[in-house]
Amino acid sequence: MTITTKQYEALTEETAIALARRLYPFPEGTELVCREIGDGNLNYVFQIKDPKSGKALIIKQALPYAKVVGESWPLTLKRAAIEANALQKHGEFAPGLVPSVYATDEELAITVMEDLSHLTIAREGLIQGETYPKLSEDIGEYLARTLFHTSDFALHPFEKKRLVAEYSNPELCKITEDLIFTDPFFNNDTNDYEPELQGAVEAIWNNAPLKLEAAKLKFSFLTEAEALLHGDLHTGSIFASESETKVIDPEFAFYGPIGFDVGLFLANLIVQSITRSGEERQVVLSHIEKTWDVFSARFTQLWEQEGIEAFKETAGYKEFVLEKIFRDTLGFAGCELIRRTIGLAHVKDLDGIENAEQRIRLKKQTLQTGEALILKRAELTSIGAVTGLLEELQP
């Protein structure tokens, strides 16, 4: 459903309720309550609820600037339509793993969708020690299904190129190009880190082989239109419970290298593994292995059963593609680890550690792990080798 409005205005809790009444047949006289629950960097998220029946819906609205910085950082409203369309496109291939979209409005830059407040943002849950037994299986499936089905391995080239154009997302891509691939590798004002990390940070800025590899990874991100990515698949973009997983927030969606989505998710699990110890760490290391195992098994099955590429049975081609995705995954994961530690956008998993000495020690470990993944990505040829490296680097 498309809602017709005259012009953009930022919603308030009152106007969000009025809009919800227009969109959903709440019985006459129903008292609705609204809360702004957005905790991300960019948008407003209103939950509108009928407390009597418990029925609720979400109205997410893009602001014409980045909320995390303020009006000095203008940002396209078109991202709301990209997000709504990507949710629906990914939902075609990974049903049940994304929220249902009820309505959209490009002018108001809103998406009206399923309320998922019975679930918890995975990052928050993981920080509290949750194990989320289904997380890696569900995300491995989500990744394989959405990425395979939007790639040249599954689509007619005309349709694939139509989608590449539809999901052109230059402003949001620029944020990633700057914040993940460029700024943390240079002495740039956007970087943000504790003085105790100055030595480790300067070591990154002066590490010529590392910077060369970061440049190559940025080049891949800039140029390789392999599949319709989520584009920001960290654990804050996932709602989870013991039995359910839902991927939200694909406003950074665009056609890019498949390993970027896989790598961002794994990097955020790696941060968790660094903050944990003993059996609790093993649970996260198992999630890391299972994500890749499920992704590669499902991708292989889809290739064999539904692939349309003429070369699909040529000996070694499928393996070549999966090896490339794996190598990219590790490199992108490395960049994400570095930027979450010293760049503009941090993660609570690390910043929330109250003991300063422990926080700095774990941040140094995160940087070291990021560097190792970037530099050793060609040598690490199995996910077991990656978790082995993580265990070595996490005493």
Closest to 5 measured CA to CA, from 146, 132, 102, 104: 104
- Strand 227-229 to 254-256 pairing: antiparallel
Asked if 56 and 115 count as a contact pair (C-beta separation under 8 A), the reply is yes
Beta partners for residue 57, in sequence order = 48, 114
116 marked as binding residue: yes
Rounded to 5 degrees, what are φ and ψ at 381? Answer: -105, 5
Taking CB under 5 A as the binding criterion, the range among 8-16, 34-42, 129-137, 165-173 that sits at the site for Mg ion is 34-42
Binding mask 295-334 toward ligand SR1 (x if CB under 6 A, else -) reads ----------------------------------------
- Count of CB atoms within 10 A of residue 327's CB? 18
Q: How far is the CB of 393 from Mg ion (least distance, A)?
A: 28
Closest to 301 measured CA to CA, from 310, 312, 316, 311: 312
Residue 267 in the binding site for ligand SR1 (CB under 6 A): no
Taking CB under 5 A as the binding criterion, the range among 158-166, 246-254, 288-296, 375-383 that sits at the site for Mg ion is 246-254
Measured from the CB atom, the residue of 33 and 68 that comes closer to ligand SR1 is 68
Taking CB under 6 A as the binding criterion, the range among 12-20, 37-45, 271-279, 372-380 that sits at the site for ligand SR1 is 37-45
Binding mask 202-241 toward Mg ion (x if CB under 5 A, else -) reads ----------------------------------------
Provide the 3-class DSSP secondary structure of residue 35.
strand
Site for Mg ion in 107-146 (CB under 5 A): none
Taking CB under 5 A as the binding criterion, the range among 126-134, 147-155, 247-255, 365-373 that sits at the site for Mg ion is 247-255
Residue 261 in the binding site for ligand SR1 (CB under 6 A): no
Residue 249 in the binding site for Mg ion (CB under 5 A): yes
Closest to 110 measured CA to CA, from 196, 3, 186, 192: 3
Residue 261 in the binding site for Mg ion (CB under 5 A): no
- What's at 167, amino acid-wise? Y
Taking CB under 6 A as the binding criterion, the range among 40-48, 99-107, 152-160, 383-391 that sits at the site for ligand SR1 is 40-48
Q: How far is the CB of 345 from ligand SR1 (least distance, A)?
A: 4
Binding mask 340-359 toward ligand SR1 (x if CB under 6 A, else -) reads -----x--------------
Binding mask 214-233 toward ligand SR1 (x if CB under 6 A, else -) reads ------------------x-
Q: Binds 179, which of Mg ion, ligand SR1, none (CB < 5 to 8 A, cut-off by type)?
A: ligand SR1
Asked if 104 and 84 count as a contact pair (C-beta separation under 8 A), the reply is yes
Asked if 250 and 230 count as a contact pair (C-beta separation under 8 A), the reply is yes
Report which secondary-structure segment, H or E, holds 114.
Answer: strand 110-114
Closest to 141 measured CA to CA, from 255, 223, 238: 238
Q: What is the DSSP string of 213-259?
A: HHHHHHHHHHH---EEE-S--SGGGEEE-SS-EEE--GGG-EEE-HH
- List the Cα angle 117/118/124 in 5-degree steps: 75
Q: How far is the CB of 176 from ligand SR1 (least distance, A)?
A: 6
60 marked as binding residue: yes
- What's at 279, amino acid-wise? E
Residue 371 in the binding site for Mg ion (CB under 5 A): no
Residue 68 in the binding site for ligand SR1 (CB under 6 A): yes
Using CB atoms, what's the residue nearest to Mg ion?
249
Asked if 335 and 370 count as a contact pair (C-beta separation under 8 A), the reply is yes
Q: Under the rule (CB under 5 A), what is the footprint of Mg ion? A: 40, 249
Q: Under the rule (CB under 6 A), what is the footprint of ligand SR1? A: 40-42, 66, 68, 175-176, 179, 232, 345
